[in-house]
Amino acid sequence: MAVVLALVSALAYGLSDFLGGVVGRASSAWRVAVVVQAVSTLSAAAVALLLPGTPSGADLAWAVLAGTGTGIGVGFLFRGLAEGRMSVVAPLSAVGAAVVPVGVGLFLGERPGPVVALALVAAGPGIWLVARSDTGDPGDPGDPGDRAAAGTAADRGSGTGVLDGVLAGLGFGVMFSAIGQVDESAGWWPIVLAQGVSTVVVALVATALGAAWRPQGPAWRAAPAGVLSTAALVTFQLATQRGLLTVSSVLASLYPAITVLLAVALLRERIHPSQALGLALCAVTVTLVALA
């Protein structure tokens, strides 16, 4: 069940990120991030009212840390998705999202079995290979039109886009690590707090960068992404409560596969051979964990 929940979380995150990235290209990415997190807060509150719990002070503290990581992660991810290539920024964000909680889980004494450990080993290079599509593959020049398109996309995917992906990954890594420490008896109010804090953090970071963040116009089209974000966070917390943080975080970090496939199908972004290999390794990861 923990495996299924973590994969559902990855699916919801992938869909949410794609929708937020697309809307962000027609609006300010920071406005989109505020809309997504604000709607997610309201959605989480609706869940918490139906399924109450009793959070401790420690649970709320972890929630504040998770919200801080989420705000940083979502803000820079949506900026990267809007200004760069989705097939580059999303996988880069997954590197930190996977590595940080795996390190935390191992530090706390989690020891996955040999098959799961092999899956985790496959996930690292898989995510990284997916992210290497910004440089293209040597020996695959393509036709002049493809080269020009690839060059333009590479320019968009480099520089700030890569930095955004790295910062987003670190933020999500903190979020995954912190939310995994919330006790099952706490209910869903810690998630409400985390999403509320993340909304404030997005606004503060945007203000520090001199970017517009007050929602208006097209940014509201990203509201469904907020509901998906809540679904992703709820299923991830359930996964960590029923399984290992190291395993759940890696599986949830496979969300770029969904974003990349949607970008290829709907935005005509191109998958290079190295990226296809990375996606295959991600599939191996899921298969091994499911069989363990």
Domain boundaries, the chain: 2-50+64-291
Single out the residue of 120, 102, 235, 109 nearest to residue 169, CA to CA.
102
Q: Provide the pLDDT for residue 222.
A: 92
Q: What is the mean pLDDT of residues 54-58?
A: 93
Q: Output the six-digit token pair for 255.
A: 């969300």
Kindly indicate the confidence band of residue 273, based on its pLDDT and cuts at 50, 70 and 90: confident
Kindly indicate the confidence band of residue 149, based on its pLDDT and cuts at 50, 70 and 90: very low
pTM of the shown model:
0.76
Q: What is the mean pLDDT of residues 4-14?
A: 92
Q: What is the mean pLDDT of residues 211-228?
A: 91
Which of 50-54, 64-68, 116-120, 245-249 shows the lowest mean pLDDT across its residues? 116-120
Kindly indicate the confidence band of residue 196, based on its pLDDT and cuts at 50, 70 and 90: very high
Kindly indicate the confidence band of residue 37, based on its pLDDT and cuts at 50, 70 and 90: very high
Q: Provide the pLDDT for residue 289.
A: 63
Q: Provide the pLDDT for residue 142.
A: 40
Q: Provide the pLDDT for residue 30.
A: 92
Residue 153 predicted with pLDDT over 50 = no
Q: What is the mean pLDDT of residues 123-131?
A: 70
Q: What is the mean pLDDT of residues 20-24?
A: 86
Q: ∠106-112-114 over CA atoms, to 5°? A: 130
Query: What is the 8-class DSSP label of residue 27?
Result: S
Using only C-alpha atoms, what is the Rg of the chain? 18
Residues 85-96: pLDDT tens digits?
776 777 778 777
Question: CA quadruple 195, 170, 94, 123: dihedral positive or negative?
Answer: negative
Query: What is the 8-class DSSP label of residue 276?
Result: H
Q: Provide the pLDDT for residue 38.
A: 96
Residue 260 predicted with pLDDT over 90 = no
Residue 150 predicted with pLDDT over 50 = no
Q: What Cα–Cα distance (Å) separates residue 255 from each residue in 4, 89, 98, 282, 283?
A: 14, 12, 11, 10, 12
Q: Provide the pLDDT for residue 148.
A: 38
- Residue 268: left if φ>0, alpha if ψ -120 to 50, beta else—which one? left
Angle between helices 2-24 and 57-83 (to 10 degrees): 50
Kindly indicate the confidence band of residue 60, based on its pLDDT and cuts at 50, 70 and 90: very high
CB atoms within 10 A of CB 266: 11
Write down the residue that tokens 């989420």 correspond to: 70
The pLDDT mean for the chain works out to 81
Single out the residue of 262, 225, 243, 261 nearest to residue 13, CA to CA.
225
Q: What is the mean pLDDT of residues 157-166?
A: 66
**Contact indicator for 238, 111 with CB cutoff of 8 Å:** no
Kindly indicate the confidence band of residue 216, based on its pLDDT and cuts at 50, 70 and 90: confident
Which of 66-70, 110-114, 258-262 shows the lowest mean pLDDT across its residues? 110-114
CB atoms within 10 A of CB 49: 12
Write down the residue that tokens 């920071």 correspond to: 30
Single out the residue of 164, 154, 158, 159 nearest to residue 77, CA to CA.
164
> d(Cα 247, Cα 231) in Å, to the nearest integer?
19
